[in-house]
Amino acid sequence: MDAIDVIRAKRDGHALTPEQIDWTIAAYTRGDIAEEQMSSLAMAVLLNGMTRDEVARWTEAMIASGERMDWSSLDRPTADKHSTGGVGDKITLPLAPLVAACGAAVPQLSGRGLGHTGGTLDKLESIPGWRASLSNAEMLDVIASTGAVICAAGTGLAPADRKLYALRDVTGTVESIPLIASSIMSKKIAEGTGALVLDVKVGSGAFMKNVADARELAGTMVGIGTDHGVRTVALLTAMDRPLGRAVGNAVEVAESVEVLAGGGPEDVVELTVLLAREMLAAAGVDGRDPADALRDGSAMDVWRRMISAQGGDPDAPLPVAREAHEVLAPASGVLTRLDAYGVGVAAWRLGAGRARKEDPVSAGAGVICHARPGDTVREGQPLLTLYADDAARFDRALAALEGAYEIREGGEPDLLPLLIDRIA
């Protein structure tokens, strides 16, 4: 095989053969294909796309570059969820223990935030003592004893994807749907789960800004999962406004605990229960309704055991930022718009997010939304409270919020429905 021949084939619009794909991924992982050559191939894929067979084989080759986890020793079926990321998207935190409380095991490998979208591991690390990095043996012990684990993926899982993801990030090829889909699915399939539910976000605060692109991505990923024997379903859900009221790290943990205690914002509860039902159905678990497990406290019991099993103290006070700043309503009327992207960038600038993977994050920084689109507000009423460890961060956060909200007399918000579509 020769890298130039593979690049030319895709450049000219041809489908790559299984042999070409297998060789390319293996050679790139070994370092036998130069970064500039892989950049050219990634751009050719972005411009010319891939067939379903190509995407399935590309994903399989990335899985084969590392280890594949095995949960067959567990006494219950496994189910996992992946979100494409958004603002205030803390759903994994209450969802994993909820599904475990209803009879499925949840091996949830999660990531960190970058830019305006938050990361599950950053949120959980605001809990004193909690550990994100576990060995495979430790993961199995936690999930066997509690029913769920949320942790970082090990370096042995799809190493080809880790290398290719970094390359796409600096070569303008992040938007390629075949490469996005294979990146997500290679890790999820290597994780070894038997069923997978995908939460594909749509809107200003999501990677996919419109329904058509989100539907294409969701369909591609469902096809990959199906082709690899994983029962897969995708939900398209709204991300044109923040999810819930809290955006940050510790503040989102606090809101997640509210949900587990039977309270919390209506949209967070609705989406958590909806995804839990999908995960249980995909795993073939026909038992109690997740809404009951929230009401009776059994999901909270699993949460406390899971946090404790990973070194965390579920009773410890969460970090609080040193400084706070209120954003007041400039007029009375109906809040018709609260832009997810603007709020997400504000939280990022307050210290809740990072610009580079190696940057630290502030556990206490973030935004609390006191009003949601559709709420009636009065002039001078607090709309948002910004939290930061350094008051000097407020100016840039406020700049991100300019034009991010709108109040009208007698207005009605034009919002996407929380559940836009289901693809299976």
Catalytic residues: 82, 161, 168, 183, 187
Q: Kindly tell me the burial class for residue 414, based on how many C-beta atoms sit within 10 Å of its own C-beta (0-12, 13-18, 19 or more).
A: exposed
- What is the tally of helices (H) and strands (E) in the chain? 16, 13
Look at residues 285, 282, 259 and name the one whose alpha carbon lies nearest to residue 272: 259
| Calpha distance 351→124 (Å, rounded) | 16
Q: Which residue has the tokens 């949120």?
A: 123
- 3-class state of residue 316 by DSSP: coil
How many residues are present in the chain? 424
Asked if 243 and 268 count as a contact pair (C-beta separation under 8 A), the reply is yes
Cβ neighbours for 251, distance < 8 A, ≥ 6 positions apart: 364, 366, 367, 368, 387
- Number of neighbouring beta carbons within 10 Å of residue 376: 13
How many Cβ atoms from other residues are within 10 Å of residue 263's Cβ?
12
| Residues 6+ away with beta carbon under 8 Å from 395 | none
| Under 8 Å between Cβ of 122 and 250 | no
Q: Helix (H, G, I), strand (E, B), or coil: what is residue 4?
A: helix
* Closest C-alpha among 93, 79, 77 to residue 271: 93
Among residues 96, 121, 98, 118, which one has the least CA distance to residue 107? 96
